Structure 1
Amino acid sequence: MEPPVLKQALGIDVAKDSLSLCLGTLTQDLEKQFIAGSDVSNDDKGFQRMEKWLVKLSVHPQKLVVVMEATGVYHEALAVYLHEKGYTVSVMQSGRVKRYAQSLSQRSKTDALDCRMLAMLGCERKLTPWSPPDKTLRHLKALSRERSFLLKEKNVEKNRLHAIETSAYSNPKEVKRQAKRLKLVEVQLQEIEAEMKDLVDGDAALGKKIQYLESIPGISFLSAATVVGETCGFKEITSAKQLASYAGYDVVLKESGTFRGSTKISKKGNSHLRSILHMPSMTAVRVNPTLKQFYNRLKPNKAKPIIALVAVQRKLLLLMYSLYKKNEYYNPQFEKKQQEPKPLLHRIEAI
């Protein structure tokens, strides 16, 4: 007689065109069993084949968790499909998956090993269920990504136009065509920014949330909307530490014996967040008294001023997260009150 099943996890290694499957089962005697499935295509037909395979194995739907790694956009259709079918889905960030794989001393990397490792992770850990982000926030994120791409394209086209104009063999017709291309990018940027504004104005609750973030000196509408879009309204974020790691602002220090490495941020998170916060941080250290004081205190102790500026970016992001979650406007006196010495009576009560 087989021991009762405690939990089942379906590990899926997602690629552009295919899905690798492995079903893990945790029994009552804490033994783990794994069954590898055939690869299926990453489309509706493949999703249906996967479901038939699960039915054939008599999988317990109420005890099954589907685990996959976030892979750009290639996992999204599968995650939405399974969620709509009633499955418990967990989408893991690549950093957490990598660290778990390292703990297993898994040196080789193949699709079969990766999906087995995800199945094992699902059996051993209690994972946070995933749910699709709000449609408006998904649209806002897509627009912010498009705007980010066009900003880079604008710089490329502007530099190219300058090179053509200053060339000794400049061709007037070529200059005219290049100027038209630059103008087209600028027009499209204006269209996207107007569309982002209309999208936020069409959602009263989201518009109010954006206003909370705009109340921070140095934060514009586009900066606030981009941060909210990139994090999908901080939906999967549960702590400031997690948010800093998600944005790549987590500090990494390497020391061993007498070796002392330099302290730096990991930059392994969302680069779009770090990019959009650069200009607001430069504005904040001029117009925000609290952050200006914070920046001036750090700057002399750092090898380069940019290091202190990155610390301001991190502080801005965490402040936006706090105001968004608490539904509050920025209070410039809050930090000053926190730094003020408490009355003697309060300190005695704390003791």
Structure 2
Amino acid sequence: MKNEILKLSLGVDISKETLAVCLCRLTARLAKEFEDPFEVSNNLPGFKKLVKWLLKNASSPEDIFIVMESTGIYHEALVYHLYMEGFPVSVMQSGRVKRYAQSLDQRSKTDALDSRMLAMLGCERELALWSPPDPILRQLKGLSRERSFLLKEKQIERNRLHALEHSVYKSKRELKRYGQRLKLIEKQLIEIEKEMEILVKNDPQMHQRIKHLESIPGISFKSAATVVGETLGFTGFTNAKQLTSYAGFDVVLKESGAYKGKTRISKKGNKHIRSALYMPAMSAIQWNPTLRKFYERVQPTKVKPMIALVAVERKLLVLMYSLWKNKIDYDPEHEQKKTARTEVLAAQDRSNLALTTS
């Protein structure tokens, strides 16, 4: 009984070239026993070597729970391979992993220690299992990322062209090449946006749900498709708080004794979502009466108007999440109806209270 193993958890710390792994056993005495960490290459031969080693420590893949941290794209090949081999896998957001690590008495930071920490996390917590995203959503995310990078490149080339045009020393051939590069970027942006539209239209259900998001004043197809692609259809989020944290809209406040720090958003999240919502927020405070009132109420209390605009971006993201989950169009009178229902319920409570006290 003393040596009975309650749970096996493997922590994987991922880098571009290598995988640092550590196996943890949770015994019936609730003690944690660790194998010495080791490394394998972050490629198919390394994956096969890891799977072979894991099957020596368990009778079946289902007996080993694997925990890793989301690291851009470098974890994707591994997580797909392990999923196809039948291992239960959890991919943690970096913010949650960092908060767990801070709770431990661990001052050093190495790949081996990080893999040990992830293995411990898998033994202690019940984590959500990873499953492959919808291929269409994965493709939509890839297109939206490509579009985002091209928009950045377009702005860089414009700035360089503007600087060259105002320079004393300039070459007509150099100006021509800048113009050609900008035309190429514009052409590719149009191609990508058409691909996004075709991809969405070929899936009637997704097309209808994105239409729900477009019903919000200020939200265009490109903005809606970018947010849906970056969140993979809002999968993995059980509430709006998780979503805003993923996008980096979660509020951070630092105070200690007499020191009172400024309240700000963490920005430790998906920058593509924040970028995609900037222009819709600018449009919303002009054309959406509800969000305009919200902006006007928040703005005077802030030092910078930008803070109020970020609050509108956050509000838009939560609104999009709600419409997507409920499969409904935007109702501009929702707040008024909600207030009216609250007033009716309050009046009923006052009436019932009067009857019981009389």
Shorter-normalised TM-score: what interval? over 0.9
> Deviation at 1:272?
0.6
> Deviation at 1:21?
1.1
Question: Counterpart of 1:342 in 2: which secondary structure?
Answer: helix
Aligned to 2:149: 149
Aligned to 1:196: 196
Given the alignment of the two structures, is residue 73 of structure 1 paired with residue 68 of structure 2, yes or no? Answer: no
Alignment of 1:1-351 (within 5 A): 3-58=3-58, 61-340=61-340, 341-343=342-344, 344=346, 346-348=348-350
What one-letter code is carried by the residue in structure 2 that aligns with 1:342? Answer: E
Between the aligned partners of 2:253 and 2:330, the Cα distance in structure 1 is 32
> Deviation at 1:63?
3.0
Residue-by-residue CA offset, 1:23-61 (whole Å, 9 max, x unaligned): 111111111101125311111111110111112223553
CA contact (8 A) 1:6 1:63 kept: no
Identical pairs, percent: 59
Aligned residues: 351
> Deviation at 1:169?
2.1
TM-score (structure 1 length as normaliser): 0.97
Q: Unaligned regions of 5+ residues in structure 1, if any?
A: none
**Which deviates more from structure 2 when the two are superposed, residues 115-124 or residues 39-48?**
39-48
> Deviation at 1:348?
4.7
Residue-by-residue CA offset, 1:74-127 (whole Å, 9 max, x unaligned): 000111111111111000111111111111121111111111110000000000
> Deviation at 1:2?
5.0
Between the aligned partners of 2:83 and 2:55, the Cα distance in structure 1 is 17
Residue-by-residue CA offset, 1:264-320 (whole Å, 9 max, x unaligned): 111111111111100000000000010011111111111111111110000000000
> Deviation at 1:5?
1.3
Structure 1's consecutive aligned runs of 4 or more residues displaced over 4 angstroms after TM superposition are 348-351
Question: Counterpart of 2:132 in 1: which secondary structure?
Answer: coil
Residue-by-residue CA offset, 1:159-183 (whole Å, 9 max, x unaligned): 1112222222221111111110111
Between the aligned partners of 1:97 and 1:212, the Cα distance in structure 2 is 34
Q: Unaligned regions of 5+ residues in structure 2, if any?
A: 354-358
> Deviation at 1:346?
3.5
> Deviation at 1:153?
0.5
CA contact (8 A) 1:8 1:60 kept: no
What one-letter code is carried by the residue in structure 2 that aligns with 1:207? Answer: H
Between the aligned partners of 1:137 and 1:318, the Cα distance in structure 2 is 19
> Deviation at 1:226?
0.2
Question: Counterpart of 1:39 in 2: which secondary structure?
Answer: strand
Question: Counterpart of 2:343 in 1: which secondary structure?
Answer: coil
Between the aligned partners of 1:74 and 1:349, the Cα distance in structure 2 is 62
- Change beyond 3 A, Cα 1:296–1:173: same
Question: Counterpart of 1:36 in 2: which secondary structure?
Answer: coil
Between the aligned partners of 1:73 and 1:212, the Cα distance in structure 2 is 30
> Deviation at 1:62?
3.0
Residue-by-residue CA offset, 1:204-246 (whole Å, 9 max, x unaligned): 1110110000000000000000000000000011101111111
Between the aligned partners of 2:304 and 2:2, the Cα distance in structure 1 is 64
Between the aligned partners of 1:50 and 1:346, the Cα distance in structure 2 is 64
Between the aligned partners of 1:323 and 1:13, the Cα distance in structure 2 is 36
CA contact (8 A) 2:8 2:26 kept: yes
Between the aligned partners of 1:146 and 1:273, the Cα distance in structure 2 is 14
> Deviation at 1:15?
1.0
Between the aligned partners of 1:327 and 1:349, the Cα distance in structure 2 is 36
Question: Counterpart of 2:35 in 1: which secondary structure?
Answer: strand
> Deviation at 1:147?
0.6
Question: Counterpart of 2:188 in 1: which secondary structure?
Answer: helix
Between the aligned partners of 1:129 and 1:349, the Cα distance in structure 2 is 49
**Which deviates more from structure 2 when the two are superposed, residues 30-39 or residues 117-126?**
30-39
CA contact (8 A) 2:37 2:115 kept: no
- Change beyond 3 A, Cα 1:317–1:92: same
What is the aligned-residue RMSD (CA, Å)?
A: 1.5
